[in-house]
Chains A and B, each alone.
Chain A
Amino acid sequence: MKGKVGIIANPASGKDIRRLVAFGSVFDNEEKVSIVRRILLGLEAADVEEIIIMPDTYGIGERALEGLGKRRLKPQVELLEMEIGHGGADSTLAAQKMQAISVAAIVVLGGDGTCRAVAKGCGEVPLVPVSTGTNNVFPEMIEGTIAGLAAGIVAVTGAGMLRRAKKLDIYGPEGWRDLALVDVVVTKETFIASRALWDMDRIESIIVTRGEPDTIGLSAVAGCLSPVAPQEAAGLYLELNHEKPTVTVLAPVAPGLFSPVPVGTWQRLTLNEQIVLGASGNPRLLALDGEREVLVRAGEEARIVLSAEGPFVVDIAGTLRRAQSQGFFTR
């Protein structure tokens, strides 16, 4: 037995207003419990020595263990010591603590928002992001058993296949403010409120690290116009023009929701290139990975910089293939 793996499962993901304004599925917490249970079994199968789980208000980790009945897991399983109940900040803090105790990988259950919160705290610890919902780009729709197995192989063999994700760093006058893993959308909204974005009339521009025709959300606008692959050293910046669009893009901006998006101009971004949002008479809200998050006050300037230094992500298929070729599954 060898290695240590962290699990961060967000009890709040999969329940926002997109169940009303689009056709997002309700992802209940018992399903997350069930996925974590299978992740634990995947980690055990890989012969991981220790598993650390972020505590949460629902008790996803405890319930996952409880559901195993009398079956006792071989790895030592512990809840991370931390105070909880602070929303997304819990995930960031948990990631920081897991990094500090040198976990080899973190399995993340949630959507783009949860991955973003974890990315703010995980440093260079690789992530195995598992999607819990229907509106995600960054995490994969992958069976928990396989996600656990891949994370376990990374921890046990130290030979996982990793790729580094891109990110967008947001700077205000005071310095760094936040980051996004997939997209930053500049909106005319004035309230964070229910966080989601669905009204294209309220959007001014979109900046993406990635976007392909088979993705969903605002980055799909890039994907349906001028795709950018996750591995490409590039991004895309699109300015919408609601009066005189150069092109109208039909994109799946949310689950089951297609919107014609009027695009005026678009340009590819190179790494480290920045988009400057000049000071405006009106405040603007930036949506990060689909959620209204950062306020740019009237008269304030903001910069958004494309960076190659996002979190490391485990290539699940590649890691499992390599493990297979090295005889990991045969005795």
Chain B
Amino acid sequence: MEKEKLVDLYRQMVRVRQFETKVSELFAQGKIPGFVHLYIGEEATAVGACANLRPDDYITSTHRGHGHCLAKGGDMKLMMAELFGKKTGYCKGKGGSMHIADMDVGILGANGIVGGGLGIAPGAGLSAKLRGTDQVTACFFGDGASNQTTFHEGINIASIWRLPVIFICENNQYGISLHQSKHQRVADVADRAVAYGIPGVVVDGNDVMAVYEAVGEAVKRARAGEGPTLIEAKTYRWHGHFEGDPTVYRSEKELAEWKERCPILRFGKHLVEMGVATEQELDTIKAEVDNEVEEAVRFAEESPLPVPEEALEDIYA
């Protein structure tokens, strides 16, 4: 892979990390209303996966969707404004964190319903197939969602119709507060691929290149008309299920062990070791991203709130 692309993978992960870190701060200060579910620690999965996608490819996202949206090309300013509930946001300030969508770059929406994207992604895949394009859809979901009926129905229909969908399970070990070992008997969600006659692969979700390679192969299959793939990325969310979650269900030791496997530190260290980038170049990226995030916050803060007269506009159902 070219240096430019490698460095961009690093930059994209830093963008997600810094954005989420700022959101955490602002939420604690009471500046962001509603609920936010942060993606800190899982950056390599969204970034590694989306690096294989074209702007006209689709993703379906989750309640923990900021990372997916940024990695797929979402506008950071519009995202931040939406979190602030401002009129300039993606949903004019009426949707908040869990409804961010951007059809121009193929983001079919974050989703407040656990497993909701699993029902949408086969539809997007069918649409591409009927239109005769080679667009693919990456469907992100968590280990908890893999117990929902939408998981089984979505993968079943995608496998029958050989739809160009890549099902990406971000196994962050917990469904809300329940450890995976307590909510399903399998340890590898990828094992479930066998039941639908499609390939299932486990990757280290904290290794951006591992995710990139696996999703890259799945995208090739999908574009070639060979049908869906289930990829399970083993990862971990550093923060609670939602901001404010006291995380009493997990130990400090467990968190510390996963922090040692920080996807950004690991990748950055390797880039330096391999002579792809210098420490200074990486520091510059961090500084540039800091500015980008500050600019997004400024944009959000300076934007107007929607007015009460608009409350019933843009309602579809």
Instruction: Show the binding face of A for B, using Cβ within 8 Å.
Output: 11-12, 15-17, 19-21, 26, 28-30, 57-58, 85, 190-195, 283, 295, 297-298
Contact = CB atoms under 8 A, between A and B. Distances in A.
Given A26-B199, A283-B275, A194 B187 contact: no
A15 B270 contact: no
Contacts of B274: 190, 283
Contacts of B273: 283, 295, 297
Contacts of A19: 199-201
B269 to A, nearest CB: 12
Interface stretch (B84-92, B137-145, B202-210, B287-295): B202-210
Q: Assign chain B's interface to a size class.
A: 20 to 34
A28 B185 CA distance: 12
B217 interface: yes
Interface string B201-232: 11100010110111001100100000001000
A20 B199 contact: yes
Q: Which of A20, A190, A195 has the most CB of B within 10 A?
A: A20
Nearest to B254: A85
B193 interface: yes
Contact of B203 (A30, A194, A295, A298): A194
B134 interface: no
Contact of B187 (A11, A21, A26): A11
Nearest to A87: B204
29 contacts: A11-B188, A15-B188, A15-B201, A16-B202, A17-B213, A17-B214, A19-B201, A20-B218, A21-B217, A26-B191, A26-B199, A28-B186, A28-B188, A29-B188, A30-B186, A57-B187, A58-B188, A85-B257, A191-B209, A192-B210, A193-B212, A194-B203, A194-B213, A195-B210, A283-B273, A283-B274, A283-B275, A295-B273, A298-B275
A20 B194 contact: no
Contacts, number: 72
Given A20-B218, A193-B209, A194-B209, 12 more contacts: A17-B217, A19-B200, A20-B221, A20-B229, A26-B199, A29-B186, A190-B274, A192-B207, A193-B212, A193-B213, A195-B210, A283-B274
**Interface of A (DSSP majority class):** loop
B213 A15 contact: no
A191 B187 contact: no
Given A12-B202, A26-B190, A26-B191, A20 B275 contact: no
B250 to A, nearest CB: 13
Contacts of A295: 273
B200 A15 contact: yes
B208 to A, nearest CB: 9
B187 A17 contact: no
A294 to B, nearest CB: 13
Contacts of B218: 20
A12 B218 CA distance: 20
A26 B214 contact: no
Contact of B210 (A28, A29, A193): A193
